[in-house]
Structures are given as structure tokens and as C-alpha cells.
Amino acid sequence: MDFKPFPVIRLTIERMQESIVHALHERHLQLDQHVNNALEKFCSEGYIADLVETAARNAIAEAVKQETERYYLYGDGRHAIHAAVARRLEEQAETARMFDKG
């Protein structure tokens, strides 16, 4: 018995392959257009300027925060805090001694 493939089935599969390739190509073109639109928006002068300004503002704020913490944790600010706390504790101790005497 001779087995021969059915040409109709082969044509149907070939047609499906063409349809799939065409659909993928159309989707690729759509994605290309979306990417191009996003790049045009992103690369606009105003948008980039906003990004740079935001990044600079964040970096400056972080640097100020770190320097302020350093000043109060390890620098002259720590000594000022130490002196203020010592004065306040001494005032409280003096007040307590006054009430203990009285």
C-alpha cells in the first residue's frame, strides 16, 4: 500500500505558517512604533531636563543629609549637643537638690 501525503493538509499548514509570519511581522512593526514613540518622548529636551533636575535635587538632598548627620554625629555639632545636654542635666540636678533641701 502506497502512502501519499495529502496536498490539502500541506497547503493548509503552509497557509497557517504564512498567517503566523504575517501576524508576527505586524506585531513587530507595532512594537517598533511604540519603542520609537517612547524614545521620542524620552529624548525630548524638556523631559531630559526634568530628569536631570530631579536627579540633581535628590543627590544634593542626600549629600546635605549625610553631611548634617556627620556634623552632628562626629563633628562640632556633637560637642554642642553634648554641652547643651550637660547644661540641661545640671539644671535638673540643681532643681532636684533645691527641692531635696526644702
Number of domain units in the chain: 2
**Given this model, what pLDDT does residue 87 score?**
95
Rounded-to-integer distance, Cα 74 and Cα 69, Å: 8
Kindly report which listed range (3-7, 25-29, 33-37, 92-96) carries the lowest average pLDDT score.
3-7
pTM of full prediction above 0.85: no
Q: Are residues 101 and 60 in the same domain?
A: yes
Contact indicator for 72, 81 with CB cutoff of 8 Å: yes
Burial of 72 (0-12, 13-18, 19+ CB in 10 A): middle
CA distances to 5, 15, 26, 68 from 60, rounded to whole Å, are 74, 61, 46, 12
Q: Which domain holds residue 95?
A: 46-102
pLDDT tens-digit profile of 59-97? Answer: 999 999 999 999 999 999 999 999 999 999 999 999 888
Q: Are residues 23 and 56 in the same domain?
A: no
The total number of residues written for the chain in this structure? 102
Q: Are residues 5 and 19 in the same domain?
A: yes
Percent of the chain with pLDDT over 70: 88
